[in-house]
Structure 1
Amino acid sequence: MSRPRCSCCKRPASHCLCALIPDLSSCTEVLVLQHPDEVDHALNTANLAVLGLRNANLWVGEVFDDLPAWLAEPGYRVRLLFPGDEAQPLTLASSEEESRPMRLVVPDGTWRKARKLLHLNPLLAALPRVTLRDVPPSRYRLRKAPMEGSLSTLEAIVAALNVLEAPNDYGELLKPFDALIEGQIAAMGEETFRRNHLR
């Protein structure tokens, strides 16, 4: 029999993180496209990010039928937060054209699954890409980063918003994330964590 779960943060009710989740506004609209395999993952950081942002949505799937209409809505700059040869460093808007509100699309899943989302949604793959630069090391101490500069989905969203919405600081979104990581470490035991993750 499974443990009762919080319907909001999806954590076990005994480890609910809702009290730590902020209620933050932003001009930037964030759309997280989550691979279905991530939904029930114990470390679902995308859900925490969306819960803490008023102007954010989470769509779960592999093919997103509503994406063409959403992308066609006028008045926005739409960018895909994903690395690649054509990806431009994310910067604060500096011209009238760039002052239009941004819609930031963030794929959520392993690198392989995120690439699959792009492959299955050609309109998504065709979006102008942006990437982060000079990011702090990930606080995601439970996973070994596949490449330098890798961040969890929540950390990437925080870093992006800190650029796009400067001087506003979205670090408060990391409070439930830090508690989540600390809780997982406590559950496995400090000795097990040190043996398996501090190498």
Structure 2
Amino acid sequence: MSRPVCPRCQRPQPLCLCACISPRPSRTRVVVLQHTQEVRHALNTGRLAVLGLQNSELLVGECFPDLDAMITAAPRAWLLFPGPEAQPPQPLRGMNEVAQGAACETPLLIVPDGTWRKARKIVQANPVLHHLPRVCLDGGEPSRYRVRKTAEPNAVATIEAIVRTLSILEPDNDFNAVLAPFERLIAQQISAMGPEIYQRHHA
């Protein structure tokens, strides 16, 4: 018999993360394209990122026919995914437009979510993404994703990649609170496996 699951964070009720989630505003609209096989993953950080950002949306699938209209409607759009022409994100100009009462544009950041193989499938399956300028992160601090191993030395969780990118695009905003449920999730996983197993396989 399955345990009751929180309908919001999708964690088992005793491990609900909602108390850690305090949605933050952003000028940038974030759309996470989550591979179908990632939905029921115990460490679903793409979902946590969307829950932690007011101006965000989670789309699940592999092909997304509505992307074309979404990208066309945005004044600027980027794909957060590595590639030969990918560049580090740059701070948005006109950060004080809101304070001055001027109309503020809402750029779009599209983020494929899944393993590297699944994320590449999403990019390949949606030709409209091929023409977007790509942004990627240059190194930085090691990932806090202490319970998952990867062959990519600079790999970070989806929620970390989003927070780091937004922090560069919008340096006047503090997005650290978005990581709070992620930190709690990792602590839960370490507690569940016990200190000896964690030290042996992950420390």
5+ long unaligned stretches in structure 1: none
Contact map agreement 2:92 2:170 (CA 8 A) in 1:
no
**Structure 2 counterpart of 1:77, one-letter code:** R
**Total equivalences in the alignment:** 195
Name the structure 2 match of 1:192: 197
CA deviations over 1:145-181 (Å, ceiling 9, x no partner): 3212211000001101111111211011111101100
Measured after TM superposition, the shift of residue 135 of structure 1 is: 2.2
**Structure 1 counterpart of 2:7, one-letter code:** S
Q: Does 1:183 align with 2:185?
A: no
Name the structure 2 match of 1:78: 77
Name the structure 2 match of 1:166: 171
**Structure 2 counterpart of 1:125, one-letter code:** H
Residues of 2 paired with 1:148 and 1:90: CA distance?
20
Residues of 2 paired with 1:82 and 1:32: CA distance?
12
Residues of 2 paired with 1:115 and 1:185: CA distance?
29
Measured after TM superposition, the shift of residue 100 of structure 1 is: 4.3
Name the structure 2 match of 1:105: 110
Residues of 2 paired with 1:146 and 1:173: CA distance?
26
Q: How does 1:42-191 map to 2 (within 5 A)?
A: 42-73=42-73, 75-94=74-93, 100-191=105-196
Contact map agreement 2:78 2:134 (CA 8 A) in 1:
yes
Partner SS for 2:192: helix
Contact map agreement 2:9 2:18 (CA 8 A) in 1:
yes
Residues of 2 paired with 1:100 and 1:77: CA distance?
9
CA deviations over 1:39-86 (Å, ceiling 9, x no partner): 00000001111001110000000001111111121x520000011110
Measured after TM superposition, the shift of residue 93 of structure 1 is: 2.5
Residues of 2 paired with 1:66 and 1:94: CA distance?
28
More displaced stretch, 63-72 vs 12-21: 63-72
**Structure 1 counterpart of 2:37, one-letter code:** D
Partner SS for 2:59: strand
- After TM superposition, the runs of 4+ consecutive aligned structure 1 residues lying more than 3 A away are none
Residues of 2 paired with 1:45 and 1:61: CA distance?
16
Using the size of structure 1 for normalisation, the TM-score is 0.93
Residues of 2 paired with 1:135 and 1:196: CA distance?
23
Name the structure 1 match of 2:18: 18
Cα root mean square deviation, aligned: 1.6
Partner SS for 2:32: strand
**Structure 1 counterpart of 2:198, one-letter code:** F
Identity of aligned residues (%): 53
Residues of 2 paired with 1:136 and 1:14: CA distance?
31
Residues of 2 paired with 1:135 and 1:70: CA distance?
31
Residues of 2 paired with 1:172 and 1:118: CA distance?
29
Partner SS for 1:11: coil
5+ long unaligned stretches in structure 2: 95-103
Contact map agreement 2:68 2:128 (CA 8 A) in 1:
yes
